[in-house]
Amino acid sequence: MKKLIVLLLAFAVAGVAFAQTPVLSAYSTLSFGVDLDTMQAGFKNYNSATVTVNFPVANVTKKGDKGWWGEIAVANVNFKLSDDAISEIETAPVFTNTYDYDGDGVVETNGDDAAASVTAKITNGVWVVSVSSMESFDYANADALSDGDVAVALHADTMGVTLGHTENGLSVGVTAASKGDWTANTLNEFAFGTNASYKVSDALTVSGAFAYDALDASKDLGATATVALALGDLSASVVGDAIFTAGFVADALVSLDYAVMDGLDAALDVYYSMSDSDIEVEAAVDYAAGAIEAGVWFGDYNALTGATYDLGVYAGYTHALGEKTSLYVYAEYTNDLAGAQALVPYFELSDTSIANTTLSLEYNADEVDVLAGAFGTLIASATVTL
């Protein structure tokens, strides 16, 4: 426990120094579970107490406004100290540069939760020379609906520099990259590429890129192109990738998404893979509003070489039984139209009428398929939270 006391004191000092207060969170759960297939049953106790200190740093950009200047921007930096205070501490606390900035409970890698980044360049506001430590030729944009996408990534693609020009909606650039940093690029392997993006209008953007492993033994060649349209409730894009190594392979994805009404969304994806010589198609309609969620999807994942279908339907409903008591029910059904089908039901009854306490009854948390002859688990639990 001595290590724990020392760490907690360190947290307290850090909190004063950075005007942050260490946060202690804890919960304890008692549950009784029954496996409805084997009738195995018993109790489970779980305790957790965590000390957390966040050190958010405001986004900062330093730049000039006349002639040429060096510009550097540091964004989305947050250091987080966290450790389990129940057991003795055997390792140093972990520092992380990811943080739930938008407070939705999930740390995404884009949008409001973008990962910490440093961007640097020499510019006059129109021409730009990048000083960032990484310039990539990874053009994996046309992801498959399932496995099989072609990632256009070249061997000479570790560190590099880009010369770019941006004006009147048009951005163009040329990039040179080496296979390793200069101390590791023993064979002097380089790749060269170019990229361009043009905002035709507020709704339409076209872009493309090309790269070649000119001074690398592989002599890989890659390219990508995108046309994106956003028009009111409709968004559409056509994306293609291609790479030439020992042979030529390419893929393309057409995506359509339409917000039919508040809560109702329809989407269609059509994917072509030259490496698989096949087409994949998936259409989906999803609805989520208030207490109701529902949706249906249909996919054909081998349209040219032997149809493999996937039909799915799901629905969920949250019913308030009282001010602090609710019942959530959900079910998902899938069918491949060749005889294989699955049904996964789920429900949770929860009550928070006792202060600091959640009582719940949960069925099938492991998502067991009842059509396969299994019935899942039933768990009753009480959780006290700090």
Say if residue 89's pLDDT is above 60. no
Instruction: Please list, residue by residue across 109-118, b when 16 or more beta carbons sit within 10 angstroms of its beta carbon and e when fewer do.
Output: eeeebeebee
Q: Is residue 345 part of a domain?
A: no
Claim to verify: residue 168 and residue 118 sit in the same structural domain: no
58 vs 78: CA distance, rounded Å: 9
Using alpha carbons, select from 238, 188, 195, 237 the residue that is nearest to residue 215: 188
Compute the average pLDDT of residues 348-363.
98
Both tokens assigned to 137: 């030729």
Claim to verify: residue 91 and residue 148 sit in the same structural domain: no
Claim to verify: residue 153 and residue 51 sit in the same structural domain: no
Claim to verify: residue 130 and residue 113 sit in the same structural domain: no
Claim to verify: residue 36 and residue 173 sit in the same structural domain: no
Say if residue 151's pLDDT is above 50. yes
286 vs 265: CA distance, rounded Å: 5
Claim to verify: residue 114 and residue 247 sit in the same structural domain: no
Lowest-confidence region among 142-151, 303-312, 317-326: 142-151
| Residue 142's pLDDT band (cuts 50, 70, 90) | confident
Both tokens assigned to 252: 């393309």
Say if residue 7's pLDDT is above 90. no
pLDDT at 135: 64
Both tokens assigned to 94: 């972990």
Q: Is residue 359 part of a domain?
A: no
Say if residue 15's pLDDT is above 50. no
Residue after which a domain boundary falls, among 102, 122, 142? 122
Range of the domain at 162: 126-275
Please provide the average confidence, as pLDDT, over all residues in the chain.
Answer: 86
| Distance in Å from the first CA to the final CA of the chain | 21
Q: Is residue 222 within 8 Å of 251, Cβ to Cβ?
A: no
Both tokens assigned to 10: 């360190």
Both tokens assigned to 265: 């969304």
Say if residue 322's pLDDT is above 90. yes
Claim to verify: residue 229 and residue 156 sit in the same structural domain: yes
Sole residue written with tokens 């076209």: 206
pLDDT at 5: 38
How many folded domains does the chain comprise?
2
| Beta-sheet pairing, 278-289 with 60-62 | unpaired
Residue after which a domain boundary falls, among 122, 152, 177? 122
Q: Is residue 116 part of a domain?
A: yes
Both tokens assigned to 206: 């076209």
382 vs 28: CA distance, rounded Å: 8
C-beta neighbour count of 138 within 10 angstroms: 13
pLDDT at 111: 60
Q: Is residue 197 part of a domain?
A: yes
16 vs 53: CA distance, rounded Å: 11
Instruction: Give the helix, strand, coil percentages of the chain, each rounded to 5.
Output: 5, 55, 40
Claim to verify: residue 148 and residue 113 sit in the same structural domain: no
Compute the average pLDDT of residues 321-333.
97
| Residue 67's pLDDT band (cuts 50, 70, 90) | very high
What pLDDT, in 10s, does the model give residues 44-61? 999 988 888 877 778 899
Q: Is residue 281 part of a domain?
A: no
Claim to verify: residue 24 and residue 74 sit in the same structural domain: yes
Q: Is residue 211 part of a domain?
A: yes
Claim to verify: residue 81 and residue 189 sit in the same structural domain: no
Compute the average pLDDT of residues 332-337.
96
Claim to verify: residue 84 and residue 174 sit in the same structural domain: no
Residue after which a domain boundary falls, among 122, 146, 166? 122
Q: Is residue 133 part of a domain?
A: yes
pLDDT at 359: 98
Q: Is residue 169 part of a domain?
A: yes
Overall pTM > 0.95: no
Say if residue 153's pLDDT is above 50. yes
| Residue 132's pLDDT band (cuts 50, 70, 90) | confident
Claim to verify: residue 109 and residue 183 sit in the same structural domain: no
